[in-house]
Structure 1
């Protein structure tokens, strides 16, 4: 489980819930969720990763559409990646087949507690449009689909629909979670995703991420 590392108590509680679910063999009626929750890295390692990112101006949006990032992929019988993240990040999950129809979610961006999956969005930590402007425009659609459905890095997280829509496709120089307690984790996760996928950052974006790491 690559993202279980020392950091905030909130993240450790999330990890504990996941471990408990997996120990019981998953939620009845659905394939066990084996993807870890969005996690953390050592702050020094993250700072080093930030320094390794290419700094470049944002590219053009020409040719962009969400359809160039195919999602959500199937992830089990009657279950897609969205359901996988809802199940992973929630508690008291209720299923119809392998579709999540109930539960409770704590939105890390704004500390809202949600009890209806229709109020929950699955946020792409690095938004698809931002990825397009920072290198994904050169990928093929298969690779963009891998990025849009990436469960192996902290790229997908269940949050309130209102916070996700406020964020839009903005980078951390333009939008930060209203929950300042999440600034450290948000910066770490953003950097981890960009570093793995070799996406660039703008000068302002890098400065904002460096500032957010100062809250760790």
Structure 2
């Protein structure tokens, strides 16, 4: 169901990547957990897609946001995670989760089944770096249930599978596990990353995904995204 990115969306993504690291500096976290013994360090930007910095051109993101349909969220009737088949095999024995761990990590080593056995993963949401893959979840930027309520309920299972395994847009990120769990299926009107310096980037990526999949936003969600773009 994803459409090709318009030129203005491509420009937004380029500007986000060009500012890498600027928005992921430590020191502005609002309550991430104390890292486990698997942690090696914190506050350094990841080398993968998830480390991309804050938007240099919030006006472009605002333009894309204004193109989204604004309407109340739909119901959860009929929803289950199984309606979004995820972690499909993408190459050899590697599934989508393992592909993201390899992409977003540093010095990642895997076993014969493509399971990560070593590496470093810096969560862009809270700035913490982990050396145990068990401390890392793969977050859907736009959660599956949120997508269901904003248009994905009308998709085919094949379209939902594409969304749940999307490696082409800024939809999948390796993040601290309990930060991902705290986010759940909430939109930015009720949950924002602990690192306020990441708010601009987060809003830009959220808008990118919703625009690419023609998903709607609600009034409070749109207002929250505009507020977050104010941190650019």
TM-score, scaled to structure 1: 0.85
- What is the aligned-residue RMSD (CA, Å)? 2.0
| Partner secondary structure for residue 71 of structure 2 | coil
1:92 maps to what in 2?
A: 107
TM alignment of 1:1-216, pairs within 5 A: 3-5=13-15, 6-9=18-21, 17=47, 37=50, 39=52, 42-97=57-112, 98-216=114-232
Q: What displacement does 1:8 show? A: 3.7
* Cα shift readout 1:126-160 (whole Å, capped 9, x = no counterpart): 00000000000000100000000010000000000
> For the residues of structure 2 that align with 1:120 and 1:85, how far apart are their CA atoms?
11
1:27 maps to what in 2?
A: none
Contact 1:38 / 1:156 at 8 angstroms: preserved in 2? no
TM-score, scaled to structure 2: 0.80
Q: What displacement does 1:10 show? A: 5.0
> For the residues of structure 1 that align with 2:77 and 2:51, how far apart are their CA atoms?
31
> For the residues of structure 1 that align with 2:214 and 2:152, how far apart are their CA atoms?
9
| Partner secondary structure for residue 75 of structure 1 | strand
> For the residues of structure 2 that align with 1:105 and 1:194, how far apart are their CA atoms?
26
* Cα shift readout 1:33-65 (whole Å, capped 9, x = no counterpart): xxx557576322111000001001010000000
Q: What displacement does 1:116 show? A: 0.5
Q: 1:116 to 1:147 in 2, by over 3 A?
A: same
Q: Which has the higher contact order (CA 8 A, sep 6+)?
A: 2
- How many residue pairs were aligned? 197
| Partner secondary structure for residue 189 of structure 2 | coil
